[in-house]
Amino acid sequence: MPQTNTLITIVGATAIGKTALSIKLAQHFNCEIISCDSRQFYKEMTIGTAVPDPDELAAAPHHFIQNRSIFEDYSVGQFEKDALAKLDELFAENPIQIMVGGSGLYVDAVLKGFDEFPDVAPQIRIDLTTELENKGIEHLQKLLKELDIETYNTIAIDNPHRLIRALEICIGTGETYSSFKNKPKAPRNFQIIKIGLKADREIMYDRINHRVDIMVENGLIEEAKQLHQYKELNALQTVGYRELFEYFDGNFTKEFAIEEIKKNSRRFAKRQGTWFRKDPEIIWFDFKEDVNNIFTTIESKK
């Protein structure tokens, strides 16, 4: 084992197989797993967020899985602090640990540090929320595209909270949201090995469509129905729930809502790909790669 602390980070699009690989790596290195999937923090959301099943959770120790409630505010900045504190504990036991997730912003927060943004007038968010209600999300998406094309191309623009957050910085500062990102941060006390999983687009989209079908079979509609009364909460502004809330409200048929979940999940995967492909430090493997080859690559980088 090396003396230098090493965080092996597994990234890639939704439904690509990150969980399975992270467990194999954790078992191989006898270490634990930090989850940085921002959808899986919440204990009320299980099926629609593809939380690891009980067998997977038992196969290796996991952290930050269903450890929060949808009624709690939990920011990426707080996650950065919590994850770094947990890593300090884990590195004291084993100098190799695993982090896994498809939420690029949360991955970067742990690996690089969270970007700091200036305070802006609260009224801007109120005004943007009113515009969202009156003119729809497409209006805000168009505005962000005009004000900050870089952020438009990288954030989850179907997430109203992320959209409004970026716009309020643009409007409140007169600068782009992206201009406040990637500034020097505090150095990390561990080295980083980044592993990415990829697949041809058609294969990836088929995997996503199949996963959604399985979620529906496993009770996604019933889970979403229990959460419908809380649909305004930020944690629920996400693919898999938002579409079903439209069905419950009479705006979509059930069949259309399911197809929208598939479509929006594919769009989400495309945005994840855009985010991660810009990182030259990621070592990419096909999702069917022999895990022994991945072990060998990691060993050579330690």
Residue 175 sits in the same domain as residue 277: no
Phi first, then psi: what are they for 17, rounded to 5°? 115, 20
Residue 244 sits in the same domain as residue 277: yes
| 18 carries a ligand binding annotation | yes
pLDDT above 50: residue 1: no
Residue 194 sits in the same domain as residue 169: no
**Tokens standing for 211?**
């996963």
Alpha-carbon torsion angle 39, 74, 22, 280, nearest 10: 90
**Over the stretch 198-230, which tens digit does the pLDDT of each residue have?**
999 999 999 999 999 999 999 999 999 999 999
pTM for this one?
A: 0.80
Residue 282 sits in the same domain as residue 221: yes
Cα–Cα distance, 284 to 287 (Å, whole number): 9
Q: Which long-range contacts (CB under 8 A, 24 or more apart) does 74-80 make?
A: 74/41, 76/38, 76/105, 76/106, 76/109, 76/114, 77/109, 77/114, 79/36, 79/38, 79/41, 79/106, 79/109, 79/110, 80/109, 80/110, 80/113, 80/114
Q: What is the pLDDT of residue 203?
A: 97
Locate tokens 């399975």: which residue?
20
Residue 85 sits in the same domain as residue 130: no
pLDDT above 70: residue 104: yes
Q: Residue 24: how many CB atoms within 10 A of its CB? A: 17
Q: How many domains does the chain have?
A: 2
Mean pLDDT of the chain: 94
Look up the CATH number of the domain holding residue 26: 3.40.50.300
Look up the CATH number of the domain holding residue 165: 1.10.20.140
Q: Report the phi/psi class of residue 82: left, alpha or beta, with left for phi > 0 and alpha for psi in -120 to 50.
A: alpha
Q: Residue 13: how many CB atoms within 10 A of its CB? A: 28
Residue 159 sits in the same domain as residue 280: no
Helices (H) and strands (E) in the chain, counts: 13, 6
Cα–Cα distance, 94 to 115 (Å, whole number): 29
Locate tokens 């923090």: which residue?
41
Cα–Cα distance, 226 to 47 (Å, whole number): 12
Residue 85 sits in the same domain as residue 157: no
Q: In this structure, is residue 221 part of a structural domain?
A: yes
- Write out the residue range of the structural domain in which residue 137 sits: 122-180
Helix axes 137-147, 160-173, angle to 10 degrees: 40
Residue 134 sits in the same domain as residue 269: no
* Burial class (CB within 10 angstroms; exposed 0-12, middle 13-18, buried 19+) of 240: buried
pLDDT band at 157, cuts 50/70/90? confident
| 13 carries a ligand binding annotation | yes
Instruction: Give whole-number Cα distances, 72 to 68, 69, 123, 125, 193, in Å.
Output: 7, 5, 23, 20, 32
Residue 135 sits in the same domain as residue 267: no
**Over the stretch 54-97, which tens digit does the pLDDT of each residue have?**
999 999 999 999 999 999 988 888 999 999 999 999 999 999 99
| 17 carries a ligand binding annotation | yes
| 253 carries a ligand binding annotation | no
Q: What is the pLDDT of residue 3?
A: 64
Phi first, then psi: what are they for 11, rounded to 5°? -130, 170
Residue 196 sits in the same domain as residue 222: yes
Residue 285 sits in the same domain as residue 193: yes
| 12 carries a ligand binding annotation | yes
Q: Residue 195: how many CB atoms within 10 A of its CB? A: 24
Alpha-carbon torsion angle 86, 88, 93, 99, nearest 10: 60
Q: In this structure, is residue 1 part of a structural domain?
A: no
Residue 202 sits in the same domain as residue 73: yes
From the list 12, 181, 171, 21, the residue with the least C-alpha distance to 101 is 12
